[in-house]
Amino acid sequence: MTESATSNRETLGFQTEVKQLLQLMIHSLYSNREIFLRELVSNASDACDKLRFEGLHNDALFENDSELSIRIGFDKEARTLTVSDNGIGMNRDEVIANLGTIAKSGTREFFSRLSGDQQKDANLIGQFGVGFYSAFIVADKVTVTTRRAGENAGQGVRWESDGGGEFAIEMVDKAVRGTEITLHLREGQDDLLAGYKLREIVKKYSNHIVQPILMQKEEWKDGKYETLDEDETVNQASALWAKPKNEITDEQYTEFYKHVGHDYDDPLAWSHARVEGKTEYTQLLYIPQHAPFDLWDRNARHGIKLYVRRVFIMDDAEQLMPLYLRFVRGVVDSADLPLNVSREILQESKDIEAIRKGCTGKVLGLLSDMAANDKEKYATFWQEFGKVLKEGVGEDFANKDKIAGLLRFATTHSDTPDETVSFADYIARMKDGQEKIYYVTAETFNAAKNSPHLEVFRKKGIEVLLFSERVDEWMLSYLTEFDGKQLVSVAKGGLDLGKLEDEADKKAQEKEADEFKPLTEKIKTSLGDKVKEVRVTHRLTDSPACLVADEHDPSGNLARMLKAAGQKAPNSQPILEINPQHPMLLRLKSEEKRFDDWAAVLFDQALLAEGGQLDDPAAFVKRMNQLMLQMGGD
Ligand code: ADP
């Protein structure tokens, strides 16, 4: 960069993340370099939308020119390409904040999570939302000249950078409001300096931007293009959602998604409908293919763009979607709301309530259809957004059953956590006489799958659902039945297999319970307050003992989760259940000398087997060693 003679020129450093993003972007998106134009046009379109909206309250912002448009031009000699708009523009502070940092929350975490290989993965960078910086894919210097509408008559700001570590900023003359972005193309990018090429890219990626995109008209003459002194509109410039469905192609829906969703990937599915009746609106809602990196950041922007009679009102209108559907992107265009609607008004509007209800229903319907008709697609959805959808069970009482029908679970009847079943699948293959839906919760899939509580269910071939996500315990507190069938944890309360157990078995078990009474009492005395009760169980076939929670106590897994989260878990003692068939218990019946050690080891083992942590691991190891020595000496 040459030193400018003007005294107000200042050089500033990019935020660290910007530098990283720039490098990643240039390398990983190069093979799809054309998207830079979509990103710049998309920003220009947003800037026009913002001006239109602010102008509703303040006509002066239009500076007597309310025809909003975007212009693309090029200069073959100078090897530059220019995208300009007469939208809202930026003042000096905004330029520094918007083009010198990444304002989005969660950026730092996002970058720190990427491995070297991932950094080369275009899809991952795409998830981040490529935006303005994508200009550097094709340019080795970018100059932005901008003036905010209604401010500093004639005085604008110029920002300039070569995409290294710094940018320069200075005040310059700028008569018209809005933003002009000039790209000084890299070597080898000269094919972009052609009208037909740019028109082709615009048609492909930005055809349905609402504002007209203007370019200088060209005429084919004497074997080459000649530019005329006249502009033409090169895109369709109409609101896509306002068109009838049968006039819109899949490509057009997809292209529009990339604009509203700030996404690099195609959408997974969409739903487009005009709703008539008491509240009138049009909705075009998309489900992305990938979860955004900030899905778990509750402050991240989410939601839907709100329009009123095709005038842009606001981004991220979170009132239009419940939180558990925060991954949905798209547009709602209301026919009834006033143009000067504010976020405060939205919170109380009956129309918004109706729209939210309608949109929620549409999305759940779309998902049900997908689950029924395209299992593979639904599996992708579930993989990306299943955890978020689970929040809906507790958040959306009215749609609880519908959401429960969309849930998918790992099960004892498959080998991997990815082979999942629905409640309907489970119920369809329940055993004769089975009345309940059985499940187990644990911290990991493996801990759930290998839980000792499952032993008798395995033996009898009864399917058990395996829950191992953090949200599951919380969700299950809201989900006590499905389709009239009670959900029962196999790690809580006494084992009740109902009709699945035969009379002879029950008799034998009662007898054993009596026979082992002296032993269970002795263990209880030895363990004292550590357990609420010690009893004989028939849920075990291989393990000597397990812990269960009393019917109305939190499960061991939940108690551990609460503790790990620093929350106070209600002080509940587990019940120790012993397996009367196990040799260890038979031996314990006649043990005298080291009974307390055996009892302690029995308890600690049971705790370890269900994924718990020992209070005093060293003591456990010491006892084990002593018992092993004792056995060797016997
Ligand atoms: P995003 O658009 O995803 O927020 P960008 O990096 O593309 O991220 O742009 C950052 C910000 O810069 C935008 O949010 C906007 O405020 C501002 N900006 C970019 N282009 C323009 C423009 N043509 N006119 C006005 N503001 C713009």
Does residue 96 belong to any structural domain of this protein?
yes
3-state secondary structure of 512: helix
Find the helix or strand (DSSP H, E) in which 219 lies: strand 213-221
3-state secondary structure of 371: helix
CATH number at residue 414: 3.40.50.11260
pLDDT at position 8 is: 86
Task: Return all residues near 369 (Cβ < 8 A) that are at least 6 apart.
Answer: none
87 lies in the same domain as 213:
yes
305 lies in the same domain as 426:
no
Does residue 225 belong to any structural domain of this protein?
no
| Ligand 1 close to Cβ of residue 87 (< 6 A) | yes
341 lies in the same domain as 470:
no
In sequence order, which ranges of 271-374 are alpha helices (DSSP H)? 343-348, 350-373
- What would the pLDDT profile of 271-317 be if each residue is shown by its tens digit? 999 999 889 999 999 999 998 877 877 667 667 999 888 878 888 77
Q: From CA 467, how far away is CA 83, in angstroms rounded?
A: 52
3-state secondary structure of 577: strand
| Ligand 1 close to Cβ of residue 127 (< 6 A) | no
Nearest CA to ligand 1 atom 1: 131
Reported for 343-348, long-range contacts at CB under 8 A and 24+ positions apart, including other chains, are 343/314, 343/317, 343/319, 346/306, 346/317, 346/319, 347/319
| Ligand 1 close to Cβ of residue 95 (< 6 A) | no
342 lies in the same domain as 480:
no
Q: From CA 36, how far away is CA 353, in angstroms rounded?
A: 38
201 lies in the same domain as 114:
yes
* Cα–ligand 1 centroid distance for 147 (angstroms): 14
Give the phi and the psi of residue 361 in degrees, each rounded to 5.
-60, -40
Residue type, 390: K
CATH number at residue 88: 3.30.565.10
Domain count, the chain: 4
pLDDT at position 361 is: 97
- Write a three-state SS string for 591-621: CCCCHHHHHHHHHHHHHHHCCCCCCCHHHHH
Does residue 382 belong to any structural domain of this protein?
no
424 lies in the same domain as 330:
no
pLDDT at position 224 is: 86
406 lies in the same domain as 475:
yes
Which residue ranges in the chain fall short of pLDDT 50?
Answer: 1-5
Does residue 230 belong to any structural domain of this protein?
no
Prediction pTM value? 0.80
Does residue 229 belong to any structural domain of this protein?
no
277 lies in the same domain as 407:
no
Range of the domain at 578: 511-549+567-633
For 46-97, give the DSSP string.
Answer: HHHHHHHHHHHH-GGGGTT-----EEEEEETTTTEEEEEE-SS---HHHHHH
Most informative mutation of 61, 71, 132, 181 for ligand 1 (most atoms within 8 A of CB)? 132
142 lies in the same domain as 280:
no
Q: From CA 573, how far away is CA 596, in angstroms rounded?
A: 19
pLDDT at position 161 is: 95
114 lies in the same domain as 167:
yes
Cα 464 to chain center, whole Å? 28
pLDDT at position 103 is: 55
pLDDT at position 277 is: 87
| Ligand 1 close to Cβ of residue 234 (< 6 A) | no
Atom of ligand 1 nearest to the CA of 44: 23
Q: How, if at all, do strands 80-85 and 224-233 pair?
A: unpaired
Does residue 442 belong to any structural domain of this protein?
yes
Quick one: which of 55, 138, 577, 603 has its CA closest to 312?
55
| Ligand 1 close to Cβ of residue 292 (< 6 A) | no
| Ligand 1 close to Cβ of residue 235 (< 6 A) | no
Give the chain's mean pLDDT: 89
Most informative mutation of 17, 24, 37, 46 for ligand 1 (most atoms within 8 A of CB)? 46
For 387-439, give the DSSP string.
Answer: HHHHHHHHH-GGGHHHHHHH--BEETTSSSTTS-B-HHHHHHTPPTT--SEEE
pLDDT at position 197 is: 94
CATH number at residue 346: 3.30.230.80
Last residue of a domain, one of 469, 499, 529: 499
Does residue 419 belong to any structural domain of this protein?
yes
Does residue 165 belong to any structural domain of this protein?
yes
Q: From CA 442, how far away is CA 439, in angstroms rounded?
A: 10
455 lies in the same domain as 543:
no
Task: Return all residues near 78 (Cβ < 8 A) that are at least 6 apart.
Answer: 184
CATH number at residue 607: 1.20.120.790
341 lies in the same domain as 398:
no
* Cα–ligand 1 centroid distance for 158 (angstroms): 15
| Ligand 1 close to Cβ of residue 150 (< 6 A) | no
The count of residues in the chain is: 634
* Residue 289 structure tokens: 């293919």
CA dihedral 426, 435, 475, 284 (to 10 degrees): 50
